[in-house]
Structure 1
Amino acid sequence: MPVDGSSQRQTMRLPYHIPLPFLTLQILLSFDPSPPWNLFGAFAIALFCLLIINSSVFVSLNIDTGVGYVDYLLGSIVMAYAVQSFYLLLLGRPLKNLKSVEDKNKNEKVHEHWWKRILHLVCLMQSPRGVGWNHQVKHVPAAPQQPRYLFILTSSLRAACHVVLFEVARLYVWYNPACSSVTVETRSYVARCADTIAFIGLTYWALNACYFAMAAGSVALGLHEPRMWPDLFGSWRDGYTVRRAWGRTWHQILKWLLAPLGKAASSALGFKRGTLGSLYAQIYVAFLFSGLVHTGGDIVLSGSFTSAVSRPFFSMPFFFMQAVVITLEDVLIRTGRRLGVKDSFWTRALGFVWVAIWFGWCVPGFAEDMIRAGGGIRKSASRVDGNHMSPNLVQAAMVGLIGFDVGEFAESWFWE
């Protein structure tokens, strides 16, 4: 059946109010409030964030872009603002404790004028990994040592490659019914892994594309040196254990927030620094807060009319499960070392197999829970539902260059 021309076209509507908690937090930080006002400010921002992500409170502030996957990401971002407010207002105190290592004179004069304080905070908040600051997180990839012209060229090419990968994944996800249905069909292990790589890759490739484009533009304009733009994600070669896959490869952006919270919680619980108790307290607290941040996406999707998931809060169990598995993994590694097993090519190869099996089992389940909750790309898996994909660069290029509509091919591949 042809789609009725009068059917409503799905368009993504970006809500204007999402940055408001972030801007409010920066204004409060510029005043450097002392107790108890910093605590009141943190609670006020957290309450504002909850009002935004809870669709049953203020309908006018609902997060509804028309794309469930984007709604989930925006809900997680807003919840991250709430967690940031408690950390920065109560523990971080950026005007006093977080300083640039590039310009010491700037740090000394930051309190002189209000606009300098605002600029200090803007620069700080735009570097979530603390690159160029005294709180740079551990295991940030090595900064590129390249001439400016070469860095601009390579960053531009990398941005273009990630745009292509993002557009290919968007085609795959759009035409694959398993990535939009609220009743996900049983698929083979390999197919589920491929679906998950494309689905989660939308975030990975989009972030990288934006990051490398900004890096090239920033260096071209003379705003930064190439060394200020290390890769956004760590190398996949470092991910031969679950701990390393999270800590070195994937979780770079949130570590600046999660690591201090984990240390503070460990100290509050009475664990001494350097002990196993302190280490695992930090790991569990970090994943607990990571799950809390992503629960913002759960809350947004819980108000979706497409939601069909029986367990509306699926993010927290997934992230907490990672901490449990890391604990068991560490026990096995320590046991192996006591038995004389040393780090080698073969142990790392075995580690990569283990990590692939683990994430190949748990991440597809997480993605399926998100899709069931209404976090897919389309509102329906039906071929005749009035949804239309916005222009896709790969699809347009294929049609223009060789006259081949890859979208029609993908549709016939998945639906026949």
Structure 2
Amino acid sequence: MADAASPTSYAAGRPPLPLLTFVILPDVVLACLMALRRPSGIKIGVSLLLLSASAYACIAYTMGNPTDDYTMGSTVFGNMVLNITLFIWLTDPVKDYRYLRDPTPLTEKPLLSRIWYSLCIIHNQRLIGTNAQVANVPPPFRGTRSQFLWKRLQQLLISLAIVDVVCSFVHTHHHLYQPEIAPLYFPSGAFGYLMRTGCTAIWLVMSYLMLKLSYIVLSMSAVATHLGNGNPEDWPDLFGPWSEAYTIRHLWGRAWHQGLRRHFSRWGKLAVEALGIPRGTWLSSQVQVHTAFALSALLHCMGDLMLGKEHFGRSWVFFAANGLVITVEDTVIALANRVGLGSEGKGRPGRGMRILGYIWVYIWFTYSGPLYYSWLFESGVGLTDPLPYSPTRSLIPVLCRST
């Protein structure tokens, strides 16, 4: 497996991705298109060129290894696809959005300012500080810049220590994540189940921590340098409280990051209106849930495409399954509420029900996690070490020799 995913063999036939041409320039072009507010025909034409460029970049170029390719395809090119459809096809950002601390509408600002604000809107994924800020964002930080940086530094050091240990396990136990050979290492019965689910939980924690670390570093850089959004209150925590994750719906909607919610909300409302479904109904809620997971799947499928055309669509299964399980979950909760086993009034469910909910969420994600990561490991994703240096893996040989 390691030989098949080696940089030389994996990247054969595809040149390195030109970041200026396919990452930076399209971003600037999209911001200019938003700021110039050209006629619809021009906007559609340019946006189709940008979409084609993103798809071409995924197929024709490489970052050199599967992990970086999947990350680039899903986070950069996947976001580009969703940003184009939202900001060019569905909204007029200069007209529809405004920053609450700035009394001057974007439509009245000079062209260069509109381009700058358009770039900010593109990368302000939760639209923090605007009239369109997404729901369930954690409360803003209240304190000085120094206090903010100190708090983030503590989070950085703790997260680095944990991610080092977690990555050390994953990268020294790849065999436990290979679906064709992993069953050989897990015994039958309850102990084997705990081992399998524990491996899944470790991989999910690693993914969570890598996202968190990226955000911590970005927020510290912005606040320390005063560049861009340099106000501490503009950088609330990326994730919501995990105490809210007592249902699958809550885990995705309240605890997990909100970076795609601006797309989910707009497309979900559009889908409900197109189908003529009354707002506020159970059916309306389900349509919006499945629309959200379809968009999330589309974004990750751009990562599939960058791994190879034969992989396109493989991420879809995991996200479709989560949409379906939320529908089942909502149905069970509605029935439980009818017979008096659900929430206490209209508030949070009681402690006992929440504990059952946490167990249910754990079981589901330890089951569904392999739907997402098993084929990724088969494709070589995860073999590249995300940390340039690992204290844990450096100390283990020393300790073994000393004993």
Residue 351 of structure 1, CA deviation? 0.6
User: Which residue is equivalent to 2:162?
Assistant: 165
Q: Distance in 1 between matches of 2:400 and 2:112?
A: 54
Say if 1:38 and 1:206 are closer, same or farther in 2 by CA, change over 3 A.
Answer: same
Which residue of 2 is the match for residue 335 of structure 1? 335
**Residue among 37, 46, 55 paired with 1:50:** 55
Corresponding residue of 1:79: 78
TM-superposed CA distance for 1:288, in Å, is: 0.8
List per-residue Cα deviations over 1:104-162 (Å, max 9, x = no partner).
1263532x2x2111111122223100110111110001122234322221111112222
Structure 1 residue aligned with 2:117: 120
Aligned twin of 2:92: 93
* Pairing 1:59-74 to 2, within 5 Å after superposition: 62-66=61-65, 68-74=66-72
Query: Which AA in structure 2 matches 1:260?
Result: R
Shift of 1:303: 5.1
For 1:377 and 1:219, the matched residues in 2 are separated by: 33
Cα separation, partners in 2 of 1:171 and 1:408, compared to 1, 3 Å: farther
User: Cα gap change, 1:312/1:26 in structure 2, threshold over 3 Å: closer, same or farther?
Assistant: closer
Amino acid at match of 1:405: P
The secondary structure found in structure 1 opposite 2:131 is coil
Q: Which residue of 2 aligns with 1:210?
A: 214
Change (3 A) 1:182 1:328: closer
Q: Distance in 2 between matches of 1:99 and 1:406?
A: 57
8 Å contact kept, 1:193–1:364? no
Provide the residue aligned with 1:413 in structure 2. none
**AA partner of residue 48 (structure 2):** F
Q: CA 1:193–1:27 in 2, change beyond 3 Å: closer, same or farther? A: farther
Q: Secondary structure of the residue that 1:72 maps to in structure 2?
A: helix
Within the alignment, does 1:376 sit opposite 2:382 as a pair?
yes
Relative distance call for 1:105 and 1:41 in structure 2 (3 A) is same
Instruction: Kindly indicate whether the alpha-carbon contact (under 8 Å) linking 2:164 and 2:387 is maintained by their aligned counterparts in 1.
Output: no
Q: Distance in 1 between matches of 2:326 and 2:247?
A: 8
- What is residue 36 of structure 1 aligned with on the other side? 41
CA-atom RMSD, angstroms? 2.9
What residue number does 2:132 align with? 135
For 2:51 and 2:181, locate their aligned partners in 1 and report how far apart those are by CA, in whole Å: 34
Q: What whole-Å deviation, never above 9, does each CA across 1:355-412 have from its counterpart, x for those lacking one?
A: 111111001232112112332325xxxxxxxxx887414248x54xxxx537989xxx
Contact 1:143 1:229 in 2 (8 A): yes
Tell me the distance in 2 between the aligned counterparts of 1:345 and 1:217. 40
In the TM superposition, residue 190 of structure 1 has moved relative to its aligned partner by: 2.8
Given that residues 28 and 119 in structure 2 are in contact (C-alpha distance below 8 angstroms), is that contact kept between their aligned partners in structure 1?
no
Matches within 5 A, 1:153-192: 153-178=150-175, 181=178, 183-186=180-183, 187=186, 188-192=192-196
Match of 1:384 in 2: none
Q: Counterpart amino acid of 1:21?
A: P
Identity %: 26
For structure 1, the 5+ residue unaligned runs are 305-310, 379-387, 410-416
Question: What's the TM-score once normalised by structure 1's chain length?
Answer: 0.81
Unaligned runs of 5+ in 2: 187-191
Contact persistence 1:171–1:407 (CA under 8 A): no
Which residue does 1:405 correspond to in 2? Answer: 397
State the alpha-carbon separation in 1 of the partners of residues 256 and 397 from structure 2: 34
1:10 Cα shift?
A: 10
Give the Cα–Cα distance (whole angstroms) in 1 for the partners of residues 258 and 40 of structure 2: 31
The structure with the largest helix share of the pair is 2
Residues 176 and 182 in structure 2, CA contact (< 8 A), matched pair in contact too? no
Could you tell me how far apart the structure 1 residues matched to 2:400 and 2:254 are?
A: 40
Q: Which residue of the partner structure matches residue 255 of structure 2?
A: 249
Q: Residue 308 of structure 1 aligns with which residue?
A: none
Q: Counterpart of 2:63 in structure 1: which amino acid? A: D
Deviations 1:312-347 (A, max 9, x none): 632112111111111111111111111112320011
Q: Contact between 2:58 and 2:306, CA under 8 Å: does it hold in 1?
A: yes
Task: Indicate the residue corresponding to 2:189 in structure 1.
Answer: none
Counting matched residue pairs gives 374
Q: What TM-score, normalized by structure 2, do the two folds share?
A: 0.84
Q: State the AA in 1 paired with 2:397.
A: D
What is the alpha-carbon distance in structure 2 between the residues aligned to residue 109 and residue 389 of structure 1?
A: 45
Kindly indicate whether the alpha-carbon contact (under 8 Å) linking 1:240 and 1:351 is maintained by their aligned counterparts in 2. yes
Contact 2:268 2:287 in 1 (8 A): yes
Mapped to 1, the partners of 2:18 and 2:167 lie a distance apart of 22
By how many angstroms is 1:220 displaced?
A: 3.5
